[in-house]
Structure 1
Amino acid sequence: MTLLLNLSYTLTTFFYSVKNLKYFRLISLFLTLFLSLVGILSIGLNYVYLNAMYGKVYMILAFIPYLIFGVLACVFQAVKGHKDRIPLILAMVFIPSTFLTQEGVGGSLFLGMAYFVNYLERSHREEVVKMVSLFSESYSPLYKERYENRTSYKEFQKAYRLLQFIDPKDFTLLDEKIIGHRDFKNGFRDKRIVRQFAIKGVIGKTTVTDYLLTKPLRLSRLGRKVI
């Protein structure tokens, strides 16, 4: 039992140390860049082979509609402020044609691995920042209420337990926006805070959202908030 507790403590310290977050970020950036370059080169070879097999006329007629749709969709999402959806649109435009050659399939796999590596690192970093933003005494707007509810919800218990391994002084609040939404159907006003943090020694910024709830936020299958 003591061995398991020591192992758990060591792993938690390793994964939630700000120093290691810096290394995770660097490794993620390197792997994402490397895998993306290999994937792009492979997909480029895919189009070269398709051009050699079918000719330029076929390539233009077959792929121009996809490109037009992709450009318009990306511009629309950028104007609407949903830049995170642009990679998905590009994937929908380019990936179907990659299954026509081995190089294309390989390129898609490399790009998928690049996305997965980036997703893992970003999700873990956002989890750490969210703990600081939502539960630390330094940054949480509802610290007292959430701290009092820590024994009632296992999500809060986990957050405060892991927060012991994190120093809020290593985090800097860069930007904060309060977003309000009026739900006329249910007759209440929904307000949330979107914050942007910088972590000491970690490249880039991290954005998290606080829904200003004193209970854990859960999402139903339809995407509606359930408290």
Structure 2
Amino acid sequence: MSEPGPRIVVLDHGSGNVRSVVRALEAAGAQVALTADADQALAADGLVVPGVGAYEATIAQIRAVGGDRIIERRLAGGLPVLGICVGLQVMFERGTEHGVTSTGLGQWPGEVTRLQAPVVPHMGWNTVEVPQGTRLFAGLEEERFYFVHSYGARQWTLEPVGPMPAPLVTWGEHGGDRFVAAVENGPLCATQFHPEKSGAAGARLLRNWLGTLRPAPTAA
């Protein structure tokens, strides 16, 4: 019999379309629970933070279920977290939509703002500019991924600290405007696109992420 896959919690904070994320992770070989239970989320091998819609609403939903504390505790312990779409955006310090600025989780400096392109939202399949040394995009350097968004992180300002490896940033482009398409930053990874909607390429990316996980430590 094959070994069971890594144990993944998809944070259930009220975001729409999470069932497709659960199914995609299961298809990639994971054991998946959709829950906001802190004990389960902290004990999982990996935590996935989905998000669709507005930055302000998503960050409020995450905080309402204690997701901000769960994410902080996991990252402080070096435990993997994967953000998807607005789940990437809320990792930045703040986001501004319709003139309203909301405070994010502050894992990365910077602000999420409206894309400066002739046509917004950015919707459809696009290639990305992948950095050398990526593990998330291994074997996917020329593939296309599915985006649906009107806002993005259009700058990256986090500088490497001491001996820590520098974050790997993947860039996307829409209508002449560049934005952060993905980040690999130690235990914290995130994608602006939807891997669960990106066909074979998205499935391979999820398998790549699952392949980086180690079993979470259990309580004595």
Q: Could you tell me the TM-score, scaled by structure 1's length?
A: 0.22
Structure (1/2) with the larger helix percentage: 1
Structure (1/2) with the larger strand percentage: 2
